[in-house]
Structure 1
Amino acid sequence: MTVIRVNETGFENEKCVLELAEEQFTELLIALGDMKGRVRKGEPVPDTEVKQRVSAVQRAMDHVFSERKRLDEVQRKRAGIVHEFAIDFDAARDEIGRRLARLRAASSAGDVPE
C-alpha cells in the first residue's frame, strides 16, 4: 500500500496519487484476468459482472492517464518549461550581461560604434 506524503511543493503527493491509481488499475486488471480464467474453465459469469469489471478498468485507466498528465504538468512547471520549451534563465542572464557590457563599453568610448 502506498503512503501519501506531502511536501511544500505538493510534488511528492502528485507522485503518490499516480502510484495509487496505478495500483488500483493493476488490481482491476488482475480481477479481470481471474474472470477470464473462470470463463475459460466454463464457469458461468454474469454479464453484469463482466460489464462492471470492464467499466471499472476503463475508469481506472482514465484515472491513471489523468494523474500521469497532472504529474507531467507539475514536473514541467518545476523545470521551468512553458509552452513545450524550457526557458534557460542562465543563458538569458549571460546574454543580458554581455549586451550591457557592450553598451557600457560603447558609452565610455564616446561614440557608438556601427
Structure 2
Amino acid sequence: MLATTEIWLREAAEALAGTVHSIKSGEFGKVKDAVECIKGLKAAVHLAIEEGNRVEKLRKQVAGSVGTGSLDMDAARDEIGRRLARLRDAGGD
C-alpha cells in the first residue's frame, strides 16, 4: 500500500508541476483540475491510512485475545520437570 501511495504522490507532484508550468506560461485553465486532483488524492491517501490503521487495530485485538490467558509459572515448571524426567528415563542427559 505504501508503494502505491508513493506512486500516487509522485504522479500528483508531476501534475502539480505541470500546472505550475502552465500558469507561468499564462494558461490558467488547468488550475481547477489540478486543485480537484490534489483534493481527491489527499482524500484517497487519508482513507487508505485510516483503513490501514483499522486493520492494524483489528489485528492487534485478535492477537491480544489469543494470548489473554495468564501464565502459570508453577504449572510450566512442573511440565518442564516432567519432560526432563522423560528424557532422563529415555537415556538422555
Aligned residue for 1:77?
A: 58
Aligned residue for 2:49?
A: 68
With normalisation by structure 2, the TM-score equals 0.59
Structure 1 position 46 matched with structure 2 position 28: yes
Structure 1 position 27 matched with structure 2 position 11: yes
Q: Tell me: higher relative CO, structure 1 or 2? Use CA pairs within 8 A at least 6 residues apart.
A: 1
Shift of 1:71: 1.0
Alignment-mate amino acid for residue 54 of structure 2: E
In structure 2, list runs of 5 or more residues that go unmatched: 74-93
Q: Over the residues paired in the alignment, what is the CA RMSD in angstroms?
A: 2.7
With normalisation by structure 1, the TM-score equals 0.50
In structure 1, list runs of 5 or more residues that go unmatched: 1-14, 99-114
Runs of 4+ displaced beyond 6 Å = none
Classify the secondary structure of the residue corresponding to 1:80: helix
Alignment-mate amino acid for residue 94 of structure 1: S
**Could you tell me whether the CA contact under 8 Å between 1:21 and 1:60 is conserved in 2?**
no
Q: Which has the larger radius of gyration?
A: 2
Q: Report the number of matched residues.
A: 73
Q: Which has the higher helix share?
A: 2
